[in-house]
Amino acid sequence: MKLIEQRVLHEQPWTILKEYRYLDDLGEQHSWTFIERREGQQAVVIVPITEKSLSLLLIRQFRIPLQREVLEFPAGLVDPGERPEETALRELSEETGYSGKILEVGPEVCTSPGITTERVRLVRMLVGEEPVRPQQLEGSERITALKVAPGSEHDLIRRSEQEGYIIDAKVYLYLMRSSGW
């Protein structure tokens, strides 16, 4: 692939909509539109497990692009000068009210490489059984934290279809793996 031109189509505080015009290996011209995180800003996706019951802690929130509630892992953007570990602890507290201990920070992975440059680090955490403080949500955020007990993964998936919310692919894969898929 040979890049011919790149254009900014639209800018927002966190993202830039771009178009690349390029030549493929056969010399044919194409274009591709995608979303770029400003300055390569990273995100963390937190995989929190409760200490005693070994339940998975998830969040459910309304997502504008899908016009539906989505069941997902707590997550957030890494602020300038912040380490992914710090972001994970902060975002877990803000979105769920839980606190925890970091077990592992994974390598950078991509989420949807055909449409975005976003890269994330998965952070496994051990958390308490109950929140230690109220959620600290921003602006229009409406987030519900919920625990998924081991063995109830298939019920949760069925319930999502009945209640009309959608499950994030990362969560779905985790649930299926946990249930022995």
- pLDDT for 24: 95
Tell me: the pLDDT tens digits for 15-64? 999 999 999 999 999 999 999 999 889 999 999 999 999 999 999 999 99
- pLDDT for 172: 95
Class of domain 41-178: alpha beta
C-beta of residue 45 within 8 angstroms of C-beta of residue 75: yes
- Domain segments of the chain as ranges: 2-37, 41-178
Q: Which residues of the chain have pLDDT under 70?
A: 181
- pTM for the model stands at 0.91
C-beta of residue 83 within 8 angstroms of C-beta of residue 105: no
- pLDDT for 165: 94
